[in-house]
A and B are shown apart, each in its own frame.
Chain A
Amino acid sequence: MKFAARKAFVGNTAYRLLPLRFRRLPWDSDRVLITSMSGDWLITSRNDFERAVTGHLDPGEPMFADMESRFLITADPERSTLAPLLSQYRTRKDYLAEGPRLHIFVVSLRCHHTCAYCQVSRQAVGQTAFDMTESTARHAVDRLFDWPAKMLTIEFQGGEPLLRFDRVQQLTELIEQRNRTEKRTLRFVIASTLHNLTDEQLSFMRDHGFELSTSLDGPEWLHNLNRPRPERDSYRRTVDGIERCRRVLGDDAVSALTTLTRRSLDVPKEIIDEYRKLGFHSISLRPLSPYGFARKTGARHGYTIGDFLKFYEAALDHLLQINREGYFLEETYTRMLLSLLLTPFPHGYVDLRSPTGAGLGAVVYDYDGRVYPSDEARMLAAMGDHSFVLGRVEESIETWMSSPGMQRILGAGVAEALPTCADCAYVPLCGADPIDHYARQGDSIGHRPTSDFCHKQMGLFDTLLQRWEQGSPADRDTLEGWALRATCREGVLETA
């Protein structure tokens, strides 16, 4: 017989390391997480890992195959292929080729609320000078179609966009008209409190397939405390709005975001139970960002990332409990992080990308015709810091891309090249947020050991990895179920 034994197929050269990063597990310092450049990963003992790095693995041992098939090492180049690794990497960076898909139109800064932590620099209801003009709207639509993305998400924001719904209608119609020749795939989203929603507005939204994103901070007392109106009826108005939207647009058409204030951190269960009570299957628990009015009132409303992570663990426990009871309820940011750990696919979320999603994944067209790479950049400008203005709607997108603001972003926008991040095992799953670092630390590159962004990400990744590794089969199923849900919803989190 001319058959050869297994060792004849080992190859002719010693193995080599491929780019990899590792992290000692915080809950077990004898083991490490190893990640490949594309984010595939393996948990193993530190001893075995050290053997691997120092060239002592034997081709016959399972660890060798495990590392080879995850592209942490490679053996004989004559017999290997790196096509899977390159495909994984390209898939994760897929959004680069297309340019921004999320386009935020700020139709008015006016709002009826007076939220202390407001992330938008809201204006009183009567101040029509803070509305987008028709001329600005037309220019913004022209620019929208200058981008090459085949899928465009158009998100209307404020302030309260319902206060200038005529402009929302006009923009929608202009965009759809233009799209008859452009043939892009369009998605319309509106971020609103849903107060004072008229039937006419609802039927327009239905006819144009709008998705709605609103804010619901938890039970009535908490929501009304967070979102004051003179009538103290913010909660009731929002819940009424949600129900009316569901009746007209369907159950899935409305999603809600929770902004977490200091008060929220004590009541994770109540907040989650409120969402379950209202029939939501998705919740977004969002820590306060250091922008807008939130920064000015930081002392009163602020809390540390450590506080947030404690809240998060309690919230996750409760969510898992609810899922064990048979009610599907996911947390959207968790789902996104888990999908990075457990699937090869990219996510649509613009705030966790490297290169950064600011300007590369999203563009904001402000009411006054200024253009920003992200909502955060707009907040900074509202506070007088114009570091990240890209330009005006009358200018070309090429001008925006070569603006000093964009250069500043790109210079600090690749996580893999940032100090400390470059060595972090989570960096293939993480993102760069130069504007956030600029806002918090005064420097777009930032200092990782004191970075809130970094603490939050590391804390969440560690928590989820540990839950995944040590969780009960039922909880693993739940977490996996969130990750595998194929939906890639883009940007809706960063609204309202």
Chain B
Amino acid sequence: MQPLEAKVQCEQWPASPLLKVAGLAEFAAGTFPPEHMLLDLRDTQVRAAGPALCHLPWAGFLTDVPEHAPPGRPWIAVPQGAFKVGIGDVVELGPHASKMALRYRRGSNNNILFTTERCNSYCLMCSQPPREVDDSWRVSQLCNLIELIDKDAPSLTVTGGEPTLLGKDLRRVVLRCAEVLPRTHLHVLSNGRAFEDSALAQMFEGLHPSLTWGIPLYGDHYGLHDYIVQSAGAFSQTVRGLYALEAAKQQIEVRVVLVKPVVERITELARFIYRNLPFVEHVALMGTEPIGFARAHYDDLWMDPAHMAPILRKAVDYLSKRSIRVSLYNLPLCVLPEPLWAYARKSISDWKQRYLPACEQCVVKERCGGFFSWMTDKWTSQSVEPIRGTSCAKH
């Protein structure tokens, strides 16, 4: 696992906190002005380009060798062993401390726009427990970040906390994405409860050319869903919210974390989705991430994925036969029956993903999403073992 924030060495802190790392191509393209970029002097082409380039009004320079920076200009050195910063990335500098955080990584499969730490649910398995803080400053910071992201970034995930707690400001963030990054798919992870207010949902109609809402639904009745999210009334709010989003012509994905009580009714949930929410375009069935609140509820939540396979297969078959796309996340291939492999995605973000020693002998390791880096034995299926050969070559 790589930390995404590090102490750095620097001189003359640049004035603007959000900066894009530039190489020659970034300069040539002219998409971003030098004032908002750090010229990457670690790049040999850049160093060979001659001194005139350095005279441009760069916000500063990224270098391992401070002497390479023009005298009197700001520079930053990222120490060995800290996270890797590359050309195209966007970093944020703490205003006083010598801290730098990565806000956008070019080429990563999981760049996020983090909206707030607050949440109105309190899910049993929350991987990132919410905090009741005023972090409304994030909105303008996000709007700035959006402008420095590559125009051909394939996708961004808007997340939290609960993004809809931003209210109208969430619309602002989405609108800025639509204006500045019209070709970037936006995936907003929300519990959907706030869309019980149809007017809020309506604000997003026609706002963005490619936006999907990822909304969790944990049961086919309120007793189950409300228990999982630890909030009475949440089920009815989310379901109403889903209808409000549909009325606002939004694309919707339903997300289901495969904790034990949910798995026990997963086929009923699939049926509920098809019968009542057939406009859903994608259903993501996700293995539990053993971090955050989940660890405290092991006995209530844990179910070996190998044991859920038969019922999971029923639910997947049911939905896919009905033209609702299904994906399985966070489940290594060895715990799934082979017919489900086609639905398994390499979903774990690159920076928190790993394989186990057993994986080294596995013939399908390349196709497998592996494990969370914070996986423990307790949270690992008994069935993990290297696959030695596959019965068919479907792919």
On A, residues with C-beta under 8 Å from B are 1-4, 6, 8-11, 40, 59, 62, 65-66, 68-69, 75-76, 78-81, 83-84, 87-88, 343-345, 480, 484, 486
Contacts and interface: CB of A to CB of B under 8 A. Distances in A.
A491 to B, nearest CB: 24
A83 B246 CA distance: 13
Given A9-B227, A87-B276, A3 B297 contact: yes
B220 A65 contact: yes
Contacts of A344: 274-276, 278
A75 B222 contact: yes
Interface residues of B, number: 34
B271 to A, nearest CB: 8
B223 A59 contact: yes
Contacts of B272: 69, 84
A67 to B, nearest CB: 9
B240 A83 contact: yes
Given A1-B296, A65-B223, A83-B239, A40 B275 contact: yes
A83 B223 contact: no
A258 B275 CA distance: 33
Contact of B276 (A6, A80, A88): A88
Given A40-B275, A79-B233, A69 B220 contact: yes
Contact of B235 (A62, A66, A81): A81
14 contacts: A3-B293, A3-B296, A3-B297, A6-B223, A9-B222, A65-B265, A68-B221, A69-B220, A76-B222, A79-B233, A80-B236, A81-B240, A84-B239, A345-B278
B233 A78 contact: yes
Contact of B243 (A59, A83, A484): A83
B236 A81 contact: yes
Nearest to A10: B223
Contacts of A68: 220-221, 223
A23 to B, nearest CB: 20
A6 B222 CA distance: 11
Contacts of B243: 83, 87
Contacts, number: 86
B189 interface: no
A75 B296 CA distance: 30
A4 B226 CA distance: 10
B230 interface: yes
B4 interface: no
B247 to A, nearest CB: 11
B124 interface: yes
Contacts of B233: 78-79
Contacts of A69: 220-221, 268, 271-272
A72 to B, nearest CB: 12
B322 interface: yes
A75 to B, nearest CB: 7
A1 B224 CA distance: 20
Nearest to A91: B278
Given A10-B223, A79-B222, A84-B239, A480 B297 contact: no
A11 B223 contact: yes
B350 to A, nearest CB: 32
A68 B227 CA distance: 16
Interface of B: 122, 124, 219-224, 226-227, 230, 232-233, 235-236, 239-240, 243, 261, 265, 268, 271-272, 274-278, 293, 296-297, 321-323
Contact of A6 (B227, B239, B265, B322): B227
Contacts of B122: 2-3
B321 A480 contact: yes
Contacts of A10: 223
A11 B223 CA distance: 8
Contacts of A84: 239, 272, 275-277
A79 B235 contact: yes
B230 A79 contact: no
- Residue among B223, B268, B297, B322 with the most chain A CB within 10 A? B223
- Residue among A68, A84, A343, A480 with the most chain B CB within 10 A? A84
B222 A11 contact: yes
A83 B274 CA distance: 15
A3 B322 contact: no
A80 B297 CA distance: 26
Contacts of B230: 3-4
Contacts of A87: 243, 276
Contacts of A484: 321-323
A480 B261 CA distance: 29
Contacts of B227: 4, 6, 8-9
Contacts of B274: 343-344
Given A65-B221, A484-B321, A79 B278 contact: no
Given A81-B236, A484-B322, A75 B223 contact: yes
Contacts of A81: 222, 235-236, 239-240
Given A78-B233, A81-B240, A344-B276, A66 B223 contact: no
B336 to A, nearest CB: 21
A26 B297 CA distance: 47
Given A6-B223, A9-B226, A81-B240, A66 B268 contact: yes
A40 to B, nearest CB: 6
Nearest to B278: A344
Contacts of A75: 221-223
Contacts of A79: 222, 226, 232-233, 235-236
Given A8-B227, A10-B223, A68-B223, 16 more contacts: A3-B296, A11-B223, A65-B220, A69-B220, A69-B271, A76-B222, A79-B226, A79-B233, A81-B222, A84-B277, A87-B276, A343-B274, A344-B274, A344-B276, A344-B278, A484-B321
B89 to A, nearest CB: 39
B230 to A, nearest CB: 6
B174 to A, nearest CB: 25
A66 B224 CA distance: 12
A79 B271 CA distance: 21
B204 to A, nearest CB: 19
Nearest to A39: B275
Contacts of B224: 65
Contacts of A343: 274, 322
A69 B239 CA distance: 12
State the 8 A-B residue pairs at the shortest beta-carbon distance, nearest first: A69-B220, A81-B236, A84-B276, A9-B226, A9-B227, A68-B221, A79-B222, A6-B227
